[in-house]
């Protein structure tokens, strides 16, 4: 599974570019995402906008685009009155829209005399349990005393099965805020990571990444140690990439350097803009905001520190990703290799 990632990074010139904020760009296109499903509501109401956002990030130079399923869950859709099969169909649609955008964009790229893009990979997003709760707990890691690891596994299981069957190139577990979601239980063979155990139980053959979130650059949002979670992830061949997302940019370089000491896996980082989301009030709070030029400079430093995949999360835009792509690999030279052309 690591081979898929190695090939992607090699074709990208040493560091692959991940796309940017999805809900941010949907709002820029006029979507109303003031909904418990957040950006996933557009899977029901405006799927054409989802495809348009994917296209914008591909045009900006993204080597990986992430599906609109971060907050798309079967319980969430059922609560909206949809049937089980409809809910599962929307999960598949989230992947299919990304695949369609990728394939259409790649086809158009091949008609140009001097192509400057790689054939992007599609990652199916799986958000944390806290994202489903939509109560701010995805930013604190506090799910309550009655939430055990087995319940978290059961929550993620069917969504993982459906998304993996839809044909993505990668599975992206995003913004995991606490060790509880990462830890299943104590067993005779030691602590077992909940998401890793699911990947093993379901024999998922799609390479996966697991990214955590942090508010201080030293711990998960819950205050727990990155090191304890990395120790578990390091033992799994199912997990090809580890990293952080939805984390303030000023902490990213330090996190990369710490991860490099504790893992040999590829490292992905895609921070937010630096603004802070108030999950209870449902609004962004003023904070140090990093614009396009700052991301240029920081992206180079993150690559030098050891990141293999770099992009953006909340409040970043195609302009951000265009700047990152240009900074990391330059847009004035052809990026398509013979191998990528042969993969069509």
pLDDT at 180: 60
pLDDT (0 to 100) of residue 274: 86
Closest CA to 66 of 237, 250, 230, 268: 268
3-state helix, strand and coil shares in percent for the chain, rounded to the nearest 5: 45, 15, 40
String of b and e for 209-227 (b: at least 16 CB within 10 Å)? bbbbbbbebebbbbebebe
- Is pLDDT above 50 for 65? yes
List of residues 6+ apart from 223 with CB closer than 8 A: 141
**Beta carbons of 19 and 65 less than 8 angstroms apart:** yes
Burial class (CB in 10 A: 0-12, 13-18, 19+), 179: buried
The closest alpha carbon to 302, from 249, 340, 339, belongs to: 249
Who's near 166: CB < 8 A, 6+ residues apart? Answer: 91, 92, 94, 95, 96, 124
More confident residue, 126 or 113: 126
Residue 333 pLDDT: 41
Name the phi and psi angles at 15, rounded to 5. Answer: -155, 115
Q: What is the mean pLDDT of the chain?
A: 87
Sign of CA dihedral 57, 58, 64, 67: positive
Average pLDDT value for residue range 301-312: 98
Determine the pLDDT at residue 185. 30
Between these two residues, 295 and 284, which has the higher pLDDT value?
295
Q: How many domains does the chain have?
A: 1
- Is residue 53's pLDDT more than 80? yes
For residue 156, pLDDT over 50 is answered with yes
Give pTM, 2 decimals: 0.90
Which is higher by pLDDT, 267 or 37? 267
Ligand-binding annotation for 313, yes or no, is yes
Q: Is 314 annotated as a binding-site member?
A: yes
pLDDT of residue 339: 38
221 is an annotated ligand-binding site residue: no
Q: 109 with 343: CB under 8 angstroms?
A: no
- Please check the confidence at residue 256 and state whether its pLDDT lies above 60: yes
Res 170: pLDDT: 98
340 pLDDT higher than 50:
no
User: What CATH number is given to the structural domain containing 110?
Assistant: 3.20.20.330
Average pLDDT over residues 269-293: 76
Give the pLDDT score at 144.
63
Evaluate if residue 332 carries a pLDDT over 60: no
User: Tell me, what's the pLDDT at 186?
Assistant: 29
The C-alpha angle 306, 18, 41, rounded to 5 degrees, equals 140
How confident is residue 148, by pLDDT bands cut at 50, 70 and 90? Answer: confident
Place of tokens 């090939």: 7
**Higher per-residue confidence, 163 vs 290:** 163
In whole angstroms, give the CA distance from residue 81 to residue 224.
37
Q: Is the pLDDT of residue 112 over 50?
A: yes
Residue numbers of the domain that contains 186:
3-343
37 CB burial (10 A radius; 0-12, 13-18, 19+): buried
Among the listed residues 271, 302, 305, 304, the one whose alpha carbon sits nearest the alpha carbon of residue 289? 271
Q: What pLDDT is recorded for position 344?
A: 37
pLDDT at 342 over 50: no
Distance CA 50, CA 61 (A): 17
- CB neighbour list of residue 6: distance below 8 Å, 6 or more residues apart: 266
């Amino acid at each position: 599974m690591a081979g898929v990632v190695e090939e992607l990074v090699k074709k990208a010139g040493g560091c692959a570019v991940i796309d940017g904020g999805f809900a941010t760009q949907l709002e820029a296109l006029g979507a109303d995402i003031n909904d418990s499903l957040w950006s996933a509501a557009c899977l029901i109401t405006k799927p054409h906008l989802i495809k348009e956002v994917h296209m914008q990030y591909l045009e900006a130079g993204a080597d990986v685009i992430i599906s609109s399923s971060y907050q798309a869950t079967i319980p969430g859709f059922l609560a909206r009155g949809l049937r089980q099969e409809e809910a599962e169909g929307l999960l598949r649609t989230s992947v299919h829209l990304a695949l369609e955008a990728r394939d259409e964009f790649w086809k158009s790229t091949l008609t140009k005399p001097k192509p400057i893009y790689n054939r992007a990979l599609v990652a199916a997003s799986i958000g944390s349990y806290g994202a489903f709760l939509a109560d701010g707990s995805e930013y604190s890691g506090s799910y309550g005393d009655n939430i055990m690891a087995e319940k978290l596994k059961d929550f993620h299981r069917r969504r993982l099965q459906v998304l993996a069957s839809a044909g993505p190139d990668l599975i992206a577990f995003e913004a995991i805020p606490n060790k509880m979601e990462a830890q299943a239980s104590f067993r005779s063979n030691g602590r077992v990571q909940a998401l890793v155990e699911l990947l093993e139980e379901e024999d998922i053959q799609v390479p996966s990444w697991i990214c955590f979130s942090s508010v201080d650059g030293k711990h998960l949002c819950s205050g727990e140690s990155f090191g304890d979670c990395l120790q578990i992830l390091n033992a799994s061949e199912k997990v090809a990439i580890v990293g952080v997302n939805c984390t303030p940019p000023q902490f990213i370089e330090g996190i990369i350097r710490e991860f490099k000491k504790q893992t040999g896996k590829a490292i992905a980082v895609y921070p937010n803009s630096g603004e802070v989301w108030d999950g209870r009030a449902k609004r962004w709070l003023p904070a140090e905001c990093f614009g396009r030029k700052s991301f240029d400079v920081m992206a180079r430093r993150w690559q030098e520190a050891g990141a293999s995949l770099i992009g953006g999360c909340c409040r970043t835009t195609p302009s951000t990703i265009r700047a990152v792509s240009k900074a990391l690999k330059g847009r004035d030279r052809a990026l398509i290799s013979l191998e990528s052309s042969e993969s069509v």
